[in-house]
A = this chain, B = another copy of it.
């Protein structure tokens, strides 16, 4: 296999993390669209790549697959400017990435999926309301941290920023009001100003 192959869904923030990082690293890759709204990540063929049935999945060599967006980012960024070499700074990057998957993504990303990807705000109304308070709690943790720092770790742009940016910058598509969070808004602009930035739904040239 000549280039990395990314099994992806264009609207997915988790998939976007990998697209953005690979573009900024300057590493060529091939994208395979998997429509998760049509069950394409639950077929026997896809499950043979990731038994947990989720995108993104990166094929790093023919038949060698890696799942979990943040694990893929760590794998790809080792030895680059996007992951600190210092042991404690690297651990802080990991801390924020686990925060993202546990305390942020389930509350910020899921309402966006129901409202803006599936277009079923009414059907999921009650579930969306249950996500509001923990979602805002995660945004408050971010706001507090960013009121003292330009980026999440070590005052420079790392995969901790990419990980948290992916769903935060489109949180309004899930009904979250980001105007309450000036430090987050300023950080979003700093991320968008990074070299090689691409938008979440930007179709990449092959």
Contact = CB atoms under 8 A, between A and B. Distances in A.
Interface of A: 51-52, 54, 60, 64, 66-72, 74-75, 78, 87-88, 90-92, 94-95, 97-99, 101-103, 105-106, 141, 144-145
6 tightest Cβ-Cβ pairs between the two chains A and B: A71-B94, A68-B98, A75-B91, A71-B95, A68-B95, A101-B102
Nearest to A61: B88
B75 A98 contact: no
A106 B103 contact: no
A84 to B, nearest CB: 12
Nearest to A72: B91
A56 to B, nearest CB: 11
A52 to B, nearest CB: 5
Nearest to A66: B91
A88 B103 contact: no
A95 B66 contact: yes
11 contacts: A51-B144, A51-B145, A52-B99, A66-B88, A68-B94, A71-B91, A74-B94, A75-B88, A75-B94, A102-B106, A106-B106
Contacts of A91: 66, 71-72, 74-75
A87 B75 contact: yes
Contacts of A67: 95, 99
A106 B87 CA distance: 28
A98 B99 contact: no
A98 B95 contact: no
Contacts of A103: 52, 54
Contacts of A88: 60, 64, 66, 75
A141 B64 CA distance: 18
